[in-house]
Amino acid sequence: MRGPHNIWRLIRTGATLERTGAMNLVLDAFEATPTLRFVARALGLPFKWLGYKGDPSMPPATRALTALGPAYIKFGQVLSTRPDVVGDELAVQLRVLQDKLPPFSIEEAKAEVERELGEPVSDLFSDFSESVAAASIAQVHKATLADTGEQVAVKVLRPNIERAFRKDVDAFYLAARMVEMFSPGSRRLRPMDVIEHFDGVVRGELDLRLESAAASEFAANTKDDEGFQLPAIKWNLSARRVMTLGWADGVSMGDNDAIDAAYHDRVALSNRVLQLFLNHALRDGFFHADMHQGNLKVAPNGDIIAYDFGIMGHIDAYTRRVYAEILYGFIRRDYMRVAKVHFEAGYVPADKDVDEFARALRAVGEPIFGMDATRISMARLLTYLFEVTERFGMETRTELILLQRTMVVVEGVARSLNPHINIWEVASPIVTNYISKSIGPRALLSDLAGTAQVLARFGPRLPGLVEAALLRQSNETTIVRPPRKRWIALSALGGAAAMAGLIVLVEALT
């Protein structure tokens, strides 16, 4: 579907913002320059009549994004957690996008359940409610299991959502290609790679079997996390377009009045949600990557409940250490360490000046320390960070997109609970603990043990590998040297024995 015809989609995007009255609100929220305002209005106004009308009962921004489709809604969901970036008015409007979108009919939902599970709804559930939450890709129904009486949540994909999403993302691909073509300086941000990454992530949301598997893995990783709960997956009642899991009782993380009425400590909750995310990202390398208020509840006992596992992030052990070192350096205000980590990881080209980069990072980090979070302009901070990355030729790291995006979202959730939170102070114990375990002699032994375990798995194949190597050597020379053969064989066997010993040593130490 990609091609020039998607220009029509982009034109209708601007026209829809104009027609719904969202254009000025969006430009004001992002403090657009006069030039950008002129260009936006010049492109939007002439085509205003082509824009989608949307639901007039909705606020302008919500009305525009819901009319434009699921990919735009996803973008709005992220912005809804950042009133410090987009302003309070726009953030309140966009928060509706999290789980209060117009639902599709219960008849369509039941028909989808029956098609996917192969049995009548009445045989599976003694009760099946109207939609209790409707988001961009799916909606949730509260139901009661016919055989046990347990209350569950049944998630059902929207009809034809795959085709609708494909249409949105195709337009994004065209927009990214145009940006690369007409703005060469933006190529370092790799807009096409970013859209491809976004495309792949949301494609995963369109197969609920993958979401069920992700939820199961996440539950196994976090089963011992204090103050954190996950609803259990009902595998026998889940399929590609339907997912069933235990019902989560609690108040929405986005409803501060309800949280206060239940006498929960919002300061403690704000600290915990940020620390939980950092623990999952650094300790496990597998984290909930859509942790906005619509996917979080506070249980009656004060635990945080997470659900909706369609977008999960994964980062390898090396990247986790790099990320932790960067955070740790900022926390310790050691900007030279942060700069060197960027260079060592290849995030900054080697021909740049590390001292100059460290000074630029200091200008980003120093204003944060000792300041109340309400006095920090995240919009200005992000603007300056963009200038720094452009100046030093840093490219967008697609493997870190979800991590960076989720950090922004989680920080927004934490600030909505406690506007005075200092993210660096809250993050410090988690990052420091991870650093102490992942860097140093103990970590080195653990790394060597992991390497040894991989190599030891080749033990049964070792004689064959040695023989094949010897045969190749024999074929390459007419002079056979038996002592050389015996040395190779003994070296290989000795290496295997040494690795086995190393495994035993490290297991004993750990």
Catalytic residues: 290
- Cβ neighbors of 283 (< 8 A, separation 6 or more) are 434
The C-alpha angle with vertex 291 and arms to 89 and 88, in degrees rounded to 5, equals: 10
Compute the distance between CA of residue 133 and CA of residue 141 in angstroms, rounded to an integer.
7
Contact 261, 213 (CB under 8 A): no
Q: Evaluate the CA torsion angle 101, 102, 106, 111 in order and state its sign.
A: negative
Contact 239, 124 (CB under 8 A): no
Compute the distance between CA of residue 277 and CA of residue 423 in angstroms, rounded to an integer.
12
Q: String of b and e for 414-429 (b: at least 16 CB within 10 Å)?
A: bbbbbeebbbbebbbe
Hunting for tokens 């390459």 — which residue is that?
476
Residue 157 pairs in a beta bridge with: 138
Residue 305 pairs in a beta bridge with: 229, 297
Strands 304-306 and 228-229: parallel
Contact 289, 333 (CB under 8 A): no
Helical H segments across 55-160, by residue range: 60-68, 70-79, 83-86, 88-95, 106-117, 121-124
For the chain, give the number of residues.
510
3-state secondary structure 265-310: CHHHHHHHHHHHHHHHHHHHCEEECCCCHHHEEECCCCCEEECCCC
